[in-house]
Structure 1
Amino acid sequence: MPVINAEHANFPRASFLRRLGAIIYDLLLAVAIYMFAGAIGFGVFAVLFSTGVLNSHGYEIASDSLHNVPAYKGTYQLWLAITVASFYAIFWSKGGQTLGMRAWRLKVQHPNGQRISLITAYARVVWSLLGIGNLFILLNSDKRALQDSMTRSEVVELSKEANEMRNW
Structure 2
Amino acid sequence: MEERKVNLWRRLAAGFYDSLLLIAMYFLVGWLMVMLNDGEAVEGPWLFWLLLLVAEIFFAKFWCNPGQTLGMQVWKFRVEQLDGRPLTFRQATARLLFSLVSWGCLGLGFLWALFDKEQRTWHDIWSQTRLVYIDHKKNAKAG
Q: What percent identity do the matched residue pairs reach?
A: 28
Q: Which residue of structure 1 lines up, in the alignment, with residue 48 of structure 2?
A: 77
Whole-Å separation in 1 of the counterparts to 2:58 and 2:139? 20
Task: With the length of structure 1 as denominator, give the TM-score of the two structures.
Answer: 0.71
Confirm or deny: 8 A CA contact 1:86 1:122 kept in the other structure.
no
Q: 2:4 aligns with which of 6, 12, 24?
A: 12
Q: Which residue of structure 1 lines up, in the alignment, with residue 20 of structure 2?
A: 28
Whole-Å separation in 2 of the counterparts to 1:74 and 1:80? 10
Q: Which residue of structure 2 lines up, in the alignment, with residue 140 of structure 1?
A: 116
Cα RMSD, aligned residues only: 2.2
Q: Which residue of structure 1 lines up, in the alignment, with residue 63 of structure 2?
A: 92
Shift of 1:24: 1.2
1:105 partner letter = K
Question: Higher RCO, 1 or 2 (CA under 8 Å, sep at least 6)?
Answer: 1
Secondary structure in structure 2 of the residue aligned to 1:128: helix
Shift of 1:62: 3.4
Shift of 1:136: 1.5
Task: With the length of structure 2 as denominator, give the TM-score of the two structures.
Answer: 0.83
5+ residue gaps, structure 1, are 1-9, 48-60, 68-72
Secondary structure in structure 1 of the residue aligned to 2:131: strand
2:80 partner letter = Q
Q: Which residue of structure 2 lines up, in the alignment, with residue 152 of structure 1?
A: 128
Q: Which residue of structure 1 lines up, in the alignment, with residue 35 of structure 2?
A: 43
Q: 2:85 aligns with which of 93, 98, 114?
A: 114
Whole-Å separation in 2 of the counterparts to 1:12 and 1:110? 16
Shift of 1:163: 8.1
Q: How many residue pairs align between the two structures?
A: 134
Do the aligned partners of residues 163 and 111 (structure 1) sit closer, same or farther apart at CA in structure 2, a change above 3 Å counting? farther
1:15 partner letter = N
Q: Which residue of structure 2 lines up, in the alignment, with residue 105 of structure 1?
A: 76
Shift of 1:134: 2.1
Confirm or deny: 8 A CA contact 1:105 1:163 kept in the other structure.
no
Greater Rg over alpha carbons, structure:
1
Shift of 1:162: 7.6
State the Cα deviation string for residues 58-87 of structure 1 (Å, max 9, x = none): xxx832xx33xxxxx111121112102221
Q: Which residue of structure 2 lines up, in the alignment, with residue 62 of structure 1?
A: 40
Whole-Å separation in 2 of the counterparts to 1:78 and 1:146? 23
1:154 partner letter = R
